[in-house]
Amino acid sequence: MPIKDGKRYCINHPNARMNRTGTLKALANVEGNAMEGTISPNSGLVVMPFVCEECGYLEMYVADKTQQDKTQQDKK
C-alpha cells in the first residue's frame, strides 16, 4: 500500500486512507489439508491488518514485537 506523509492509502483508491483494525489479529498454521486440517494455536503470526473503507482491500503486516512488548510492560 502506498504511504504518503506517513499515512497509508489504498492501491485501488489513491485518495482513500487505509485504517488499521482496532486489535492485532492472528494467522495460525493449519496442519493437514483444507478439508480436514486442524488449526495449530501454538504456531503462526501476529499481524496488523489495514483495511480500505471503500472497497474492503486488506493488507496485513507482521506485528512489531518491540511495540507489543512495550505495551505489555506499560500495563505492568
Q: Which long-range contacts (CB under 8 A, 24 or more apart) does 66-75 make?
A: 68/24
In this prediction the pTM is 0.66
Instruction: Give alpha helix (H) positions in 1-76.
Output: 65-75
Helix then strand then coil, % of the chain, to nearest 5 = 15, 45, 40
Give the mean model confidence (pLDDT) for residues 65-72.
Answer: 55
Mean pLDDT of the chain: 84
Mean pLDDT for the stretch of residues 6-34: 90
Domain boundaries, the chain: 3-75
pLDDT band, very low/low/confident/very high, at 69 (cuts 50, 70, 90)? low
